[in-house]
Amino acid sequence: MNRIVLAAAFIGLSLSFVAAEAKGCIKGAIIGGIAGHYAGHGKVGVVAGCIIGRHEANKADAERERAATQRSRPGHTEDDRI
């Protein structure tokens, strides 16, 4: 069962990245691997940690981009879109 879950996660992970970007994945994989090891599911923890780490990195990038866009348009606020 673990091999099936791991294989499905690996295939999904490999197909989800258009470019080979490891931003957030390595840090998440390390943390997830440690947590998964103590829970008895180390490999699944690594895969899940990588996915979550990548998601968090994308979320932080989007937030930085949104903040930069707001700084570049000083006369506009979120209330102007109503």
Tens-place pLDDT, residues 41-69: 888 888 888 888 888 888 988 999 998 88
Q: Tell me, what's the pLDDT at 63?
A: 92
The structural domains of the chain, with segments of one domain joined by +, span 2-74
Among 40, 61, 64, 36, which Cα is nearest to 49's?
A: 36
Its pTM stands at 0.56
Helices (H), the chain: 2-16, 25-39, 42-72
Could you tell me if 48 and 24 are in contact, meaning their C-beta atoms sit under 8 angstroms apart?
A: no
Tens-place pLDDT, residues 4-21: 777 767 766 665 554 456
Residue 67 is which amino acid? A
